[in-house]
Structure 1
Amino acid sequence: MKIIAFGASNSAASINKALATYTAGLVANAEVKVLDIRDYDVPMFSQDLEKEIGQAEGAKQFLADLAQADAFVISYAEHNGHYPAAYKNLFDWATRIERNLFQEKPALYLATSPGPGGAKSVLAAAQASAPFFGGNVKAAVSVPSFFDNFDMATGQVTNAQVAAELEAAVAQLSA
């Protein structure tokens, strides 16, 4: 199984990318490719700009990379209760090219934040909109208080309960 994993964040030190990377690594015998959305350069979306330039090259490359996946592990960052602007912009460009962005492939949706909310608002929004964009969400997990539950130096979950939740979610990905 080829897993595409990414954090829906443009932070160089993204905790969501770390969580997605860790969780994708739990999938037995999987080939994991971790994307960094900073690698997909797209201008700020507008219909006027779309008419002027057509399809943004970064969005086309993002779609090409997603097409290689058998499944997805995506961890959504939350900015003021919503998607970060960088991810939403890339998403907007990509869905103008291919609305069925996630191609009905199985997906595990995650979210985390440094605080106790665990980015639940954005996770709920991502789950609710998934069917409109070819999302086939098999499981969703919010991890609160990221730095209390994850060691960035080792890239490992430190809380047994969180680890068990993620393992159970991964099992749903291939079910």
Structure 2
Amino acid sequence: MKILAFAGSNSSTSINRQLVTYTSSLFSEHEVELLDLNDFEMPIYKADREEESGVPQPAYTLAEKVDHSDMILLSLAEHNGAYSAAFKNVFDWLSRVPERKAFGDKKIFLMATSPGARGGASVLEMAQKRFPYNGGHVIATFSLPNFYDNFKEGTIVDEQLKEQLIELVDQIKREGK
């Protein structure tokens, strides 16, 4: 299975990038490409801009990576209960690439973490409802609450949460999702 993994954040210290990096290591027997959202920075989406200049090349590049994967592993940052502005902009441009849905009818293992007790629950709920309309088939979700208490030195330290994530990964592997 070829997995495209990234965090929905452009922060250099992104906790969601740390979570997606850790989780991608659990798929060590598969081909995993870990992306940095900063490599796909584009001007803020605007219909007038699209009409004048077309879809920026980074959107086509990301669409090609999505199309050549079997699954997307995505950990969304939650800003004010929604997607980060950086992710939303990439998502908007990706949805404008002609003759395809934004997520290319791919399976998505969707995650989120935050410093708070809800662990990005609002953005997870939003994405679960929205992504199917954009060609994203959410096959599993995982929320890591209280990031700074539950994640240290590159791993989840809360044993129950760690086991929950490992079980989800094992299920995806078994079912070939």
| TM-score grouping bracket, smaller chain normalisation | over 0.9
**TM-score, structure 2 normalization:** 0.93
CA deviations on 1:24-66 (whole Å, 9 max, x unpaired) are 2112511111111100121011000000100111111111222
- Equivalent residue, structure 2, for 1:137: 138
Residues 107 and 173, structure 1, Cα contact 8 Å, conserved in 2: no
- Equivalent residue, structure 1, for 2:19: 19
Q: 1:90-101 to 2 correspondence within 5 Å?
A: 90-97=90-97, 99-101=100-102
SS of corresponding position for 2:20: helix
Alignment partners' CA distance in 1, 2:136 and 2:33: 19
1:110 aligns with 2:114: no
Displacement, 1:132?
Answer: 0.6
Displacement, 1:109?
Answer: 0.4
CA deviations on 1:75-106 (whole Å, 9 max, x unpaired) are 01000000011110010011011552222322
Structure 1: runs of 5+ lacking an equivalent: none
Report the count of equivalent residues: 173
Alignment partners' CA distance in 2, 1:5 and 1:147: 22
**TM-score, structure 1 normalization:** 0.94
Residues 96 and 102, structure 2, Cα contact 8 Å, conserved in 1: no
Q: 1:33-72 to 2 correspondence within 5 Å?
A: 33-72=33-72
- Equivalent residue, structure 2, for 1:146: 147
Structure 2: runs of 5+ lacking an equivalent: none
SS of corresponding position for 1:139: strand
**Which shifted more, 96-105 or 139-148?**
96-105
- Equivalent AA in structure 2 for residue 92 of structure 1: D
- Equivalent residue, structure 2, for 1:32: 32
Displacement, 1:168?
Answer: 1.7
Alignment partners' CA distance in 2, 1:134 and 1:24: 22
Identity %: 42
Greater than 3 Å deviation, 4+ residue runs: none
